[in-house]
Amino acid sequence: MTVEEKDGAIVGLIATLEHASNAQARFEIMYSTLRDRISMLVYHPGMRLSEEALAAEFGVSRSPLRKALKILEADGLLRSAHGVGTIVTDVDIDKLGQVYQLRMELNELVGKLMPRTPDRDVQSLFETMRRRAEDLQREPSLDGFARLNIDFFHAFQSLTENEPLKEVSEKLFYQTCRIWLTLVPADNLANEVAVFCSEVIGIVNAVRIGDIKAAALLRRAHLSMGYTRLQDYARTGV
């Protein structure tokens, strides 16, 4: 699904870009690659990115790269400062509270607005998520946690057919998902992973019997509890 799953890493990325047919395809690759790196904290908050370096890596000039950066800026993930650089935005637990409130409501809407009866493909997708959750629980890792969090979000998105809702939810998700990587303390990772995996498995079970509404309510509940735990981490961490 994501671009990262390539063999030769950076080399493979440029190769992919070279063969990208049109401008839109090249943009999508650059955009999702950068967004993924920001979300996975490869580019950590406060880090300065160089347009020239990124353009060189992608094998293009600054012009098309800047388009991707501008959209990421509109998404709230980057911030450009003239004469300084392109800076990865900070994630502030307090400001993110508003986003979390909204995300909770939106997740409930997944069950209300055009819920989609899961077909065979969706079911197998969620079964894959269950398997990955079980694997992760056996061998917890921060990266695996973050990756499954992202992929499970996209799987959950397929439960509604309301396109605007999906777009809006996606934008808000990427504004918040980094917070876990910055706040969860290493000594509590296994516990946090276990909670998350039980959430995944619970929702997979709801999807299996076709109860999208229940899946949405479960997700909303877990989102709420997750935010509470994040606040605790932020308090004790400081």
Q: Which does 74 bind (CB under 5 to 8 A by kind): DNA, its own copies, none?
A: its own copies
23 lies in the site for its own copies, by CB under 8 A: yes
Contact region with its own copies (CB under 8 A), list: 8-16, 102-110, 120-128, 150-158: 102-110
Nearest residue (CB) to its own copies, 74 versus 190: 74
Nearest residue (CB) to DNA, 44 versus 67: 67
175 lies in the site for its own copies, by CB under 8 A: yes
Are the C-beta atoms of residues 206 and 172 closer than 8 Å to each other? Answer: no
Rule CB under 8 A: choose which of 10, 25, 61, 98 binds its own copies. 98
Find the binding residues for its own copies in span 140-169 (CB under 8 A). Answer: 162-165, 168
Residues engaged in binding its own copies (CB under 8 A):
22-23, 66-67, 70-71, 74, 82, 98-99, 101-102, 105, 109, 112-114, 162-165, 168, 171-172, 175
